[in-house]
Amino acid sequence: MTTADARAQEATHLARTEADPTAPAPAPAPREPEVEPAPFVRLDPESGLLRLDLVVEGVHCAACIRRIERRLGELPFVRAARVNLSSRRCSVAFAGDPEGARAIVSSLAELGYRAVPFDPAKLDGADAAAEKELLLCLAVAGFAAGNIMLLAVSVWSGHFVGMGEATRTFLHWFEALIALPAIAFSGRPFFRSALAALRRGRTNMDVPISLAVILAPAVSLVETIRMGDHAYFDSAVTLLFFLLIGRYLDRRARGAAREAVARLLALRAQAVTRIEADGTMRAVRPESLEPGQEILVATGERVGVDGEVVAGRGELDTSLVTGETVPQPVEPGSRVFAGTVNLGPPLRVRVLAAGEGTLLAEIVRLMEAAEQRRSRFVALADRVARLYAPFVHTLAALTLTGWLLAGAEWHFAMMSAIAVLIITCPCALGLAVPAVQVIAAGRLLRHGVLVKSATALERFARIDTVVFDKTGTLTTGRMALEAIEGGDASDLEAAAGLARTSRHPLARALAAAAGPGPARTGVEEVPGTGLRWCGPEGEWRLGRRGFAASVPDDDRPGAELWFSRPHRPPVRFRFADPLRPDAAEVVAALRARGLALELLSGDRPATVAEVAQRLGIEHWRAGLAPAEKVARLEELARLGRKVLMVGDGLNDAPALSAASVSLSPASAVDVSQTAADAVFQGERLFPVLEVLEVARRAERLVRQNIAMSIVYNLCAVPLAVAGFVTPLVAAIAMSSSSLLVVGNSLRLRLRARTEPAFGPARPPRLAEERA
């Protein structure tokens, strides 16, 4: 074995990651950090200590917290270690050298937890800050609402027992004292959004909300100064409190989903092995590589960057990038892409700069173009608001002029008009959507579906066509033994004895098929070629065609391993990418609901045809480039179809952006997960059905809620127009309609337990339309 090979093997050991978030049990943790942690260490200027933030896999209980915190506390240079169970992170403060980070990560690995350093600024972004601001606004509004209600109830009671004018005005002043600063502070999220909409010449739900929340206290202040009977401070603040609850829950549900996706991606981060100028190997972050540098990609390792092969020839598994399941040969000069897996001997790869014609740059360009062409989706609530806001504003104006024309005094007419605005303030309307969304997102989260986009559920509910990618979406994306040609189970067991010593993907698939058993000792691995073992009666060989068997290449498709033993004919093990266990049922259920199905793959026609035939998908296209997938989706959109795209590969990312809504498995490349509206975890395809089912029910509830709150408001409007609305009436109307809406939304949770998972099928629409 040459020294280069030895280095390569060592590098494999160093840099290997097999982080499949769908796997139930984590792979045995390596003792050496897979991502060099030192670059992630930050200096905390306040304490003068160094800080390292880690995403830790497998933390799930108090015992884990204690074990990790105690173990890290035993390290002499660690000053503090704190595990965050909600976000599965660990934050460590330590003194001395940043290199201590390495010891921290490896002690976690010794405990059996995989820890990956990350940059908190990159992972959290603006979301966490916005969530905190909402919570603060919510707290202030809650405090104000409680205290004002205390005073307001006294005033209402006073109307019946004859409270004196002085006392009432005194209480009103107290209400004003609390309400005005509270509204100024807590109303900011609504005012900002309303202003932004108005600047663009639009209205959204926040415009009538802001108007009511500003007008009500303004009028009440005037009334208080005039020592009038009624002040609406309580209505304004309670309204704000309710709306902030809805908004906070909404943001939290999506924040949790986004964070979970970011965490999955961070866990998949891996180091690449850079070849330094002096020939030494060093594991570094892929981002820290510069164009022109060379990296070593060991056997079985995922290529971390886009580049060009400088030395070595062999095969790459490109299924995540192109959808092709049969390994692709590479040689010096070939382009290789991040996300492919090296099946052959170690490769030296020169890093290409972004934009140097790399696939990723091309994919990103296609995604941006698709994103721009996609028509902007307007959420149902916003569409309602566009009609609703002008309507109530006109109504208020009519009330004012009506009363003036009828000869009422100016003050009475004004108060009635403002009462119309307050009573029609879309409090329930503002809760109608978030209340349902929070419950739906929570339910989906329990099924392993992370909904990232705010309007995704609405878009899921409207689809009539589902487009699947093949590799990694309908199939598992991992090789499995399909057939033994020219041999039987005893050959499998014999070959597995060799295969168990190797980490080559095909060898592992073979070992998995044979089940647990002994491994032969003294097996020699010839990287990229195969395994050999000297038995009593001669040499056994397992590997490529030319290495293990002198059979001529007959050009049969598919991944294969040959196994030869002395005095026996060679055996061929054929591997294929198996379907997800429930793919057939899910596809059948989708068809039963009247959805048109289509399969778009980058793989070769024979393989795609077989999968399509087994699943009964009539319309399929194979060998598609990313741009062709986008073109097909845009063609479908032109035909007026609402398409759900399910895909995982780099080549699917532009199509995911082009579809009206998109879903991607958690095993997908990060670009696809970022592009998709929702991400599902697990080996099964069932979440696709679950998402559609929940989305449809949620849509129904949202419509009911909106209808209910509009009807409610319309009933109250005549009272307001007639000038009968007192603060008490406003408070009752508002809170009862909000309660009704929230109560209705909770049915999504109740019915989840009693209703069968599959709803009634929709009539087949456009299903016959030729694809």
Residue 354 C-beta: closest distance to other proteins, Å: 35
Is 140 one of the binding residues for other proteins (CB under 8 A)? yes
Q: How far apart are CA 306 and CA 150, in angstroms?
A: 65
Is 613 one of the binding residues for other proteins (CB under 8 A)? no
Q: Which of 126, 113, 133 lies closest to 54, judged by CA?
A: 113
Q: Smaller CB distance to other proteins: residue 81 or 498? A: 81
- Is the Cα torsion angle 334, 340, 342, 343 positive or negative in sign? negative
Q: Smaller CB distance to other proteins: residue 170 or 391? A: 170
Q: How far apart are CA 141 and CA 148, in angstroms?
A: 10
Q: Smaller CB distance to other proteins: residue 26 or 228? A: 26
Amino acid at 285: R
Q: Is 469 a catalytic residue?
A: yes
Sole window of 141-149, 284-292, 575-583, 672-680 interacting with other proteins (rule: CB under 8 A): 141-149
Chosen residue from 8, 151, 183, 513 binding other proteins by CB under 8 A: 151
Is 65 one of the binding residues for other proteins (CB under 8 A)? yes
Is 121 one of the binding residues for other proteins (CB under 8 A)? no
Is 143 one of the binding residues for other proteins (CB under 8 A)? yes
Q: Which residues pair with 465 in a beta bridge?
A: 596, 643
| DSSP E strands, 66-172 | 78-84, 89-94, 114-117
Tokens of 564: 């030869």
Residue 57 C-beta: closest distance to other proteins, Å: 11
Q: Smaller CB distance to other proteins: residue 266 or 549? A: 266
Q: Smaller CB distance to other proteins: residue 142 or 527? A: 142
Distance of CA 40 to the CA centre of its chain: 24
Amino acid at 359: L
The strand pair at 307-311 and 335-336 is best described as antiparallel
- Which ranges in 226-340 belong to alpha helices (H)? 233-268, 319-322
Is 568 one of the binding residues for other proteins (CB under 8 A)? no
Chosen residue from 4, 80, 93, 150 binding other proteins by CB under 8 A: 150
Q: Which of 246, 234, 221, 247 lies closest to 145, judged by CA?
A: 234
Tokens of 749: 């949770």
Cβ–Cβ < 8 Å for 73, 321 = no
Is 167 one of the binding residues for other proteins (CB under 8 A)? yes
Q: How far apart are CA 540 and CA 4, in angstroms?
A: 26
Residue 405, helix vs strand vs coil? helix
Per-residue interface string for the shown chain with other proteins, residues 43-62, x marking contact by CB under 8 A: ---------------x-xxx
Q: Smaller CB distance to other proteins: residue 60 or 226? A: 60
Residue 225 C-beta: closest distance to other proteins, Å: 20
Is 147 one of the binding residues for other proteins (CB under 8 A)? yes
Q: Which of 355, 254, 621 lies closest to 468, judged by CA?
A: 621
Chosen residue from 75, 85, 222, 408 binding other proteins by CB under 8 A: 85
Element spanning 369, H or E: helix 359-373
Q: How far apart are CA 501 and CA 480, in angstroms?
A: 17
Sole window of 6-14, 67-75, 214-222, 664-672 interacting with other proteins (rule: CB under 8 A): 67-75
Cβ–Cβ < 8 Å for 183, 240 = yes
Chosen residue from 130, 136, 354, 707 binding other proteins by CB under 8 A: 136
Q: Which of 53, 234, 317, 469 is catalytic?
A: 469
Q: How far apart are CA 448 and CA 683, in angstroms?
A: 11
Chosen residue from 139, 397, 489, 714 binding other proteins by CB under 8 A: 139
Is 153 one of the binding residues for other proteins (CB under 8 A)? no
Q: How far apart are CA 605 and CA 323, in angstroms?
A: 12
Sole window of 77-85, 299-307, 451-459, 525-533 interacting with other proteins (rule: CB under 8 A): 77-85
Sole window of 44-52, 64-72, 729-737, 750-758 interacting with other proteins (rule: CB under 8 A): 64-72
Using the CB atoms, write b or e for 390-400: b if 16+ within 10 Å: eebbebbeebb
Q: Smaller CB distance to other proteins: residue 72 or 549? A: 72
Is 157 one of the binding residues for other proteins (CB under 8 A)? no
Residue 352 C-beta: closest distance to other proteins, Å: 41
Q: Smaller CB distance to other proteins: residue 62 or 126? A: 62
Q: Smaller CB distance to other proteins: residue 169 or 744? A: 169
Q: Which residues contact 415 (CB under 8 A, 6 or more apart)?
A: 219, 723
Tokens of 217: 């206290």
Cβ–Cβ < 8 Å for 141, 192 = no
Residue 79, helix vs strand vs coil? strand
**First-last CA distance in the chain:** 55
Amino acid at 67: R
Chosen residue from 2, 46, 63, 406 binding other proteins by CB under 8 A: 63
Residue 694 C-beta: closest distance to other proteins, Å: 24
Is 170 one of the binding residues for other proteins (CB under 8 A)? yes
Is 169 one of the binding residues for other proteins (CB under 8 A)? no
Residues in 177-196 at the binding interface with other proteins, rule: CB under 8 A: 178
Is 28 one of the binding residues for other proteins (CB under 8 A)? no
Q: Smaller CB distance to other proteins: residue 182 or 679? A: 182
| Phi and psi, residue 748, nearest 5° | -60, -35
Tokens 């079985």 map to which residue? 300
Chosen residue from 12, 17, 87, 322 binding other proteins by CB under 8 A: 87
How big is the site for other proteins, counted in residues (CB under 8 A)?
32
Which residues carry out catalysis?
469
**Sites of contact with other proteins (CB under 8 A):** 58, 60-63, 65-67, 70-71, 83-87, 110-112, 132, 135-136, 139-140, 143, 146-147, 150-151, 167, 170, 174, 178
